[in-house]
């Protein structure tokens, strides 16, 4: 296979092993191989303004000073578009857990290989990289074909709107709320889902623009739902990065209050993740939001890793079980156990428990029998435009 269009960075403290890998890569036809002895040195290379772009990083796990885990965290935070391969002499199970960790940090992990590294190992992973690369076509490395300029133009032009997905009480089928999910209504390309813009907005420090648009439009919509006799709540997604701004809670409160809506009808969904760096301001914001009466929801529960710790630190009002567990509920015993214990945990902490990704009648029935409070998913309805959601509300009263 032909590796000659790729550039590599090899991070390995052992001189001999590093040489061997560089040698293999050169023999496979690499265009350029850069070497680093430590994670710090590698990060310096990646951060240098004029470094030549690197396609694939190969990194050892067991290194002095900065180990591979810490290095992968930095890669996930600042270089998540570069493909990474873990090389390690550790056993398979441990490598598996590091893989999970890297994924949680947002690292674009191509795979993990046990040492000694062979050309065949590497070729398999490179062909995977190639096929992913060609699948994404001309799209940029983060999977979006739009650049930040186009996205910001769409935002200021008013082309972003919340779509609403209903949340129903499983025991009664009663409509109790809706999650507002951002959609870019592109004048040429139609409805564009969040994966094409959230990441870029977060990385460029512009996510707050979207957050406030979503909050304002969703709160206005909530007012209309109430005026039509549907006393439901709305949930808006909040990026963790926004929580670093100490003024965030006050800004949110002001927007909602100015529109004349009681904060108790507004829930803020926050995804649990390990990458919450500014812990203190985030806690202050969340505590303040709770004090003002907002609901706080822990989103994608079970996918991050400090789940328990987060719950004890912050007074959440809702726990949302991630859809990946619901999807596996019937086939994986582990998922079922996790769902059951999440439901129990939520009940004990006086939180509402919502299951995401309810796709079938069977999902609904099972979750209901497990005493899960609320359900959200395609079985009930997909996220809808405001007009359609209002129709949905009216129908749900008549049935």
Q: Note the residues at the interface with ligand C2E (CB under 6 A).
A: 165, 181-182, 193-194, 198, 207, 210-211, 214, 237, 239, 269, 299-300, 323, 356-359, 376-378, 383
Q: How far is the CB of 349 from ligand C2E (least distance, A)?
A: 21
Rounded to an integer, what distance in angstroms lies between the CA atom of residue 175 and that of residue 231?
Answer: 9
Please report, for residues 182, 184, 356, the alpha-carbon distance to residue 196 in angstroms, rounded to integers and kept in the order given.
11, 9, 21
Q: Residue 377 binds what, of Ca ion, ligand C2E, none (CB under 5 to 8 Å, by partner type)?
A: ligand C2E
CB-facing half-sphere around the CA of 277: CA atoms within 13 A = 7
Which residue has the CB atom at the shortest distance from ligand C2E?
A: 377
Q: Residue 302 binds what, of Ca ion, ligand C2E, none (CB under 5 to 8 Å, by partner type)?
A: none
106 or 357: CB nearest ligand C2E: 357
Cis before 257? omega within 30: no
Number of H helices, E strands in the chain: 15, 14
Q: Residue 106 binds what, of ligand C2E, Ca ion, none (CB under 5 to 8 Å, by partner type)?
A: none
Q: How far is the CB of 237 from Ca ion (least distance, A)?
A: 5
Rounded to an integer, what distance in angstroms lies between the CA atom of residue 278 and that of residue 268?
Answer: 18
Q: How far is the CB of 311 from Ca ion (least distance, A)?
A: 17
Positions touching Ca ion (CB under 5 A) are: 237, 269, 299-300, 356
Q: Residue 359 binds what, of ligand C2E, Ca ion, none (CB under 5 to 8 Å, by partner type)?
A: ligand C2E
299 or 373: CB nearest Ca ion: 299
CB-facing half-sphere around the CA of 81: CA atoms within 13 A = 14
Rounded to an integer, what distance in angstroms lies between the CA atom of residue 332 and that of residue 107?
Answer: 26
193 or 260: CB nearest ligand C2E: 193
Q: Residue 363 binds what, of Ca ion, ligand C2E, none (CB under 5 to 8 Å, by partner type)?
A: none
Contacts of 300 (CB under 8 A, 6+ apart): 271, 272, 320, 322, 356
Q: Residue 68 binds what, of Ca ion, ligand C2E, none (CB under 5 to 8 Å, by partner type)?
A: none
13 or 299: CB nearest Ca ion: 299
DSSP 252-283: HHHHHHHTT--GGGEEEEEE--TT---HHHHH
């Amino acid at each position: 296979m032909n590796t000659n269009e790729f550039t590599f960075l090899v991070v390995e403290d052992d001189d001999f092993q590093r040489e061997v890998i560089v040698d293999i890569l050169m023999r496979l036809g690499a265009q350029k191989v850069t070497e680093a002895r430590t994670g710090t040195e590698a990060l310096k290379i990646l951060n240098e303004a004029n470094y030549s772009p690197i396609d694939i990083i190969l990194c050892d796990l067991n290194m002095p000073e900065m180990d591979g885990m810490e290095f992968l965290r930095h890669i996930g935070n600042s270089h998540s578009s570069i493909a990474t391969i873990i090389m390690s002499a550790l056993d398979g199970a441990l490598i598996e857990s590091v893989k999970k960790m890297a994924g949680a940090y947002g690292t674009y992990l191509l795979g993990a290989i046990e040492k000694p590294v062979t050309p065949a190992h590497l070729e398999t992973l490179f062909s995977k990289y190639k096929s992913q690369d060609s699948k994404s076509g001309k799209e940029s490395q983060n999977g979006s074909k739009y650049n930040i300029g186009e996205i910001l133009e769409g935002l200021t032009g008013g082309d972003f709107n919340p779509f609403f997905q209903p949340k129903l009480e499983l025991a009664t089928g009663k409509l109790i709320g809706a999650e507002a999910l951002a959609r870019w209504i592109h004048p040429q390309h139609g409805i564009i889902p969040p994966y094409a813009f959230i990441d870029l907005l977060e990385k460029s420090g512009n996510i707050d623009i979207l957050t406030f648009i979503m909050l304002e439009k969703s709160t206005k919509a909530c007012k209309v739902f109430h005026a039509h006799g549907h006393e439901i709540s709305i949930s808006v997604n909040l990026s963790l990065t926004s929580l670093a701004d100490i003024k965030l809670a006050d800004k949110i409160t002001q927007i909602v209050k100015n529109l004349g809506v009681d904060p108790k009808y507004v829930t803020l969904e926050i995804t649990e993740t390990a990458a919450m760096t500014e812990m203190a301001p985030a806690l202050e914001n969340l505590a303040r939001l709770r004090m003002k009466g907002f609901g706080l929801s822990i989103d994608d529960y079970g996918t991050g890793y400090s789940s328990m710790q987060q719950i004890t630190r912050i007074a959440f009002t809702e726990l949302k079980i991630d859809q990946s567990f619901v999807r596996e509920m019937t086939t994986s015993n582990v998922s079922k156990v996790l769902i059951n214990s999440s439901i129990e945990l939520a009940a004990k902490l006086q939180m509402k428990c919502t299951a995401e990704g309810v796709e079938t009648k069977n999902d609904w029935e099972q979750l209901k029998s497990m005493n899960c409070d609320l359900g959200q998913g395609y079985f009930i309805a997909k996220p809808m435009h405001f007009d359609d959601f209002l129709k949905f509300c009216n129908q749900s009263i008549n049935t």
